[in-house]
Structure 1
Amino acid sequence: MGNDSMDNTVRTGTELLWSVLGGDPALVDRVEYGGPAGLLAARLPVMELARASVAVCSLAAVERAGLPGPVRVDDGAVATAFVSERQLRVDGRSPVSFAPLSRFWRAADGWVRTHANYPHHEAALLTALDVRDGSVEAVGAAIEARGAVEVETAVYAAGGLAVALRTPARWAEHPQGREVAARPLLTRERLDDAPPRRRGGPLRVLDLTRVIAGPVATRTLALLGADVLRIDPPGRPELPDQHADTDVGKRTSALDLDRPSDRRTFQELLDSADVLVTGYRPGALDRFGLERPGLVTARLSAWGEYGPWAGRRGFDSLVQVATGIAVTEGSAERPGTLPAQALDHGTGYLLAAAVLRSLTEQDRDGGTRLVRLALAGTGHWLTHALPRYEPGRYVTDTEGPLGRLRHALSPVAYEGGPAGWSRPPGVQGADAPAWATA
């Protein structure tokens, strides 16, 4: 299943991620790549992110299980999984991906993207805009009368979600953009010397995550044999299609952690869990006392646990807009999107890999473990760490009889081979009809 013709950036991406995870570099040789080419086409190296995140997740599973491999990464399977929410059918019905008010809007000085899939976020959006008629036309008129950052600020203050479109340069200058750039893609910490909490039987994973990255991570852990129990608040269940797509392999339950009886039940579950995965905004769950000695905790956020946006909610679509990805995939005049919610899915597989690697190291060395990732960090890694196709790297300038030519380098290359042609093109028909002299 190996494919020697596949771009070396595939291996480079896997090596980079596996190094971030602290894995043995020699294990990367167990990964084989194949499948159809040209999937998840984008200006950014989305397919490389997808391959690499799935590869290291599989590699972490093989390492933990003590299996020899190989790990096989098929581009078709990877690309399909990265749009799993679009592949879903419920009794033949297609899923609802975005609500009518979750979209790009023209503001007075640019663009804004909102996320209003959940009823409480839609209500907050309408409150912030002082719009009683929740139609697309009314919301559009309210946003068009304001500046993009003004809308962003007002909607977040009301508890909703809206992000102004920024170019990559503007994001790099933004305080949150600088914080993200200064941090690693993920962090894995050993907090103490406590022994592991596992007592035999399947791995127990308590899942406190929502759309899409966290549920993808726990869905993957369930695939690998973990007993995954997802907990949601009773009044705010997961969207039905999201549940159908990302809760496969799990059990789900509802607990109101503000009720004493439900809080006791939750604490008992946490006492007997091996892994806790959270996906709520930083600090939102702190009052529930989630720390346990010997536990592996994985915390996922949109913007990171640092900087002025640390406490903000966020989703993949909004991170693309804030960080300049939407401009890169389109333009400042007409923003675009990635071909998949790749920040969500890529972070999900990377999160599962980090949990598996932490468990492997914990089995050897003990210790309470903490893993932290952010969608914005994955976005920064996609835009800065992975090689991108830049035509300028593969052209050269040559002086000759026709003037200064810029032309493509030859793709024929090997050790000891020519670096280029021995002569530039001359004036047509000007050479003598004879062979070159020795």
Structure 2
Amino acid sequence: MTIADADGQGQGGGVAQAWAALGGASGLAGRVRYRGAGDLGEGPLPVAELARSTVGACALAAGELAAVRAGGGPDDVAPVVVDEGAVATAFVSERHLRVEGRAPVNFAPLSGFWRAADGWVRTHANYPHHEAALVRALGLPSATPEALGAAVAGRPAVEVQELVYAGGGLAVAVAEEYGEPQPLVEPVRVSGARGRPLGPAPAGRPAAGVRVLDLTRVIAGPVATRTLGLLGADVLRVDSPRLPEADDAYADTGFGKRSARLDLALAGDRAVFEGLLAEADVVVSGYRPGALERYGLGAAELLERWPGLVVAELCAWGWREVGPWAGRRGFDSLVQAGYGIAAACAAPGGGGVPGVLPAQALDHGTGYLVAAGVLRGLAEGGGRGLRFSLAGTGSWLVRGLAGAGTGTAGRCGQGAYSAGPWLREVDSGYGVLRYAASPLGEWGRGPSRWGTDEAVWLPRG
């Protein structure tokens, strides 16, 4: 990893690379400083550098927005200090979560690596509908690891992948080589219009008064929006009542926001949603390409109707039409498998068994990049669309960061360090939560229960 020197200034170019990709003014990346020590393990890929760089870029974007709202410019951005231990803890926040003392189950029994006839397959079956689709697609006699292992073992990996995807499930053949290069950030449209004027913000809350409509699920998008909420934004997450969320997932990522359910296929709910859009400053979406366009909610459509918005879209596999992956669902673990990262993390002498990064770093890193992109968009006056993807962050990890020589040879794995100073407890809609603090500040209160808030904005101010 990149090490902080004695006075806390980071060495290496990860944050500069991320800041440049976000369109930030050259030279500002040098104002990010790091202190303390964190440990995300040693491995062939620079995961710790990805973590500290994405958080550093997000903190810098928050500082830039604060300076702009105070009437200043790039020269007025204050130096930013990021704690390495807080970053390491936040990047595995789901592992530190305790709900009334209970540890969550982060991966279901049918989620994992399975040996196929000619390689390996990674499945994701954490949601009941994905598990049911996996069982159905492969004709399993029972929803057990033994039945799944036997079914996969008799087929080529790509055949399993295609059968399961065709049946509505999630499975990816483990790739031995890195995937096609993808951009870290892709600007898709600048409307030329300015958003609502933003006056000075309270200290530590540069996004105060900003309304963020959150159309994201699972980790990357919710990490972005919980970060914006921490920085003062009024974040309202909206989900379909036909897509239930896992309580443990929302207990971890529901900080800094409220949550409501609306069915956009119903006229009354769509009218409520249109009212929310009309008063929003930011829309963050996390569905696969094409999923929201059928509702007229793609970036181009949104900016046509509300040209002052900042729209951030993220997906798993990237926005370029690359083979069979265009428009497919995906999660961090699947992108690691399909992009060649899992193979790179295989244990030496372990018979080729794929490995994993020491954190779901594609999710968390992309989340901080999305938040940074939104903050930069607000600092620039609004009226722009940005795209992000887990594959884009993976491409940066294996090419941009690894090419800078920040990796350490050896197996990917979780290092040992004390997370205690960055763990907190709070009451919530789920009871008492132990959770990982954000490296950018404190939320102050726990999340409500998913889908139980009113679909209304809070008063500005």
TM bucket (normalised to shorter chain) is 0.7 to 0.9
Q: Separation in 2 of the partners of 1:390 and 1:161? A: 30
Matching residue within 322, 334, 338 for 2:338: 322
The change in CA–CA distance for 1:105 and 1:10 in structure 2 (over 3 A counts) is farther
1:103 and 2:112 are equivalent in the alignment: yes
How many Å separate the matches in 1 of 2:342 and 2:364? 17
Whole-Å Cα distance in 1 between the matches of residues 173 and 330 of structure 2? 13
| Alignment partner of 2:405 out of 385, 388, 398 | 388
1:207 matched to 2:214: yes
Partner of 1:412: none
Look up the match of 1:15: 16
Partner of 1:70: 79
Structure with bigger gyration radius: 1
Deviation for aligned residue 1:195: 2.6
Q: Which amino acid aligns with 2:99?
A: V
Match of 2:393 in 1: 378
Following TM superposition, by how much is the alpha carbon of 1:219 offset from its aligned partner in structure 2, in angstroms?
0.5
Query: How far apart are 1:38 and its partner, in Å?
Result: 4.1
State how 1:6-405 maps to structure 2 within 5 Å. 10-66=11-67, 68-168=77-177, 171=178, 177-178=179-180, 181=181, 183-197=182-196, 202-290=209-297, 291=302, 292-306=306-320, 307-308=322-323, 309-330=325-346, 333-362=352-381, 368-386=383-401, 387-388=404-405
- Which amino acid letter does the alignment assign opposite residue 311 of structure 1? G
| Residue number in structure 2 paired with 1:174 | none
Distance 2:357 2:120 in 1: 17
For normalisation by structure 1, the TM-score amounts to 0.82
Q: Give me the CA root mean square deviation.
A: 2.1
Secondary structure (helix, strand or coil) at the match of 1:43 reads coil
Distance across 2 between alignment mates of 1:198 and 1:286: 28
Q: Residues of 1 paired with 2:407 and 2:308: CA distance?
A: 47
Which stretch shifts more, 226-235 or 65-74?
A: 65-74
Superimposed CA distance per residue, residues 297-330 of structure 1 (whole angstroms, 9 cap, x where no aligned partner): 1000000122231210000000111111111111
Write the distance in 2 (CA, Å) between the matches of 1:303 and 1:75: 29
C-alpha contact 2:38 2:86 (8 A) present in aligned 1: no
- Give the secondary structure class of the aligned counterpart of 1:116: coil
1:259-311 deviation per Cα after TM superposition (whole angstroms, max 9, x unaligned): 11111111111111110000011100112222132111100000012223121
* 8 Å contact from structure 1 (residues 204, 275) kept in 2: yes
Deviation at 1:37, TM superposition (A): 4.9
Q: What is the distance in 1 between the residues matched to 2:175 and 2:167?
A: 22
Q: Is the 8 A contact 2:59 2:80 kept in 1?
A: yes
Q: 1:251 to 1:391 in 2, by over 3 A?
A: closer
Secondary structure class of the residue paired with 2:12: helix
Give the secondary structure class of the aligned counterpart of 1:372.
strand
Query: 1:198 and 1:255, CA in 2 relative to 1: closer, same or farther beyond 3 A?
Result: farther
Number of equivalenced pairs: 377
1:304 partner letter: G
Gaps of 5+ in 2: 68-75, 200-207, 410-461
Whether the 8 Å contact between 1:10 and 1:51 is mirrored in structure 2 is: no
Cα pair distance change 1:8/1:222, threshold 3 Å: closer
Unaligned 5+ segments in structure 1 are 172-176, 393-438
C-alpha contact 2:44 2:407 (8 A) present in aligned 1: no
Question: 2-side partners of 1:266 and 1:186: how far apart?
Answer: 28
Instruction: Summarize the Cα distance change of 1:194–1:149 in structure 2 as closer, same or farther, 3 Å threshold.
Output: same
Distance in 2 between the 1:378 and 1:390 partners?
A: 16
Ranked by relative contact order (alpha carbons within 8 Å, sequence separation 6 or more), the top structure is 2
Q: Deviation digits for residues 349-407 of structure 1, max 9, x if unmatched? A: 01100111111112xxx5x2101011011101000111235799xxxxxxxxxxxxxxx
Give aligned-pair identity as a percent: 58
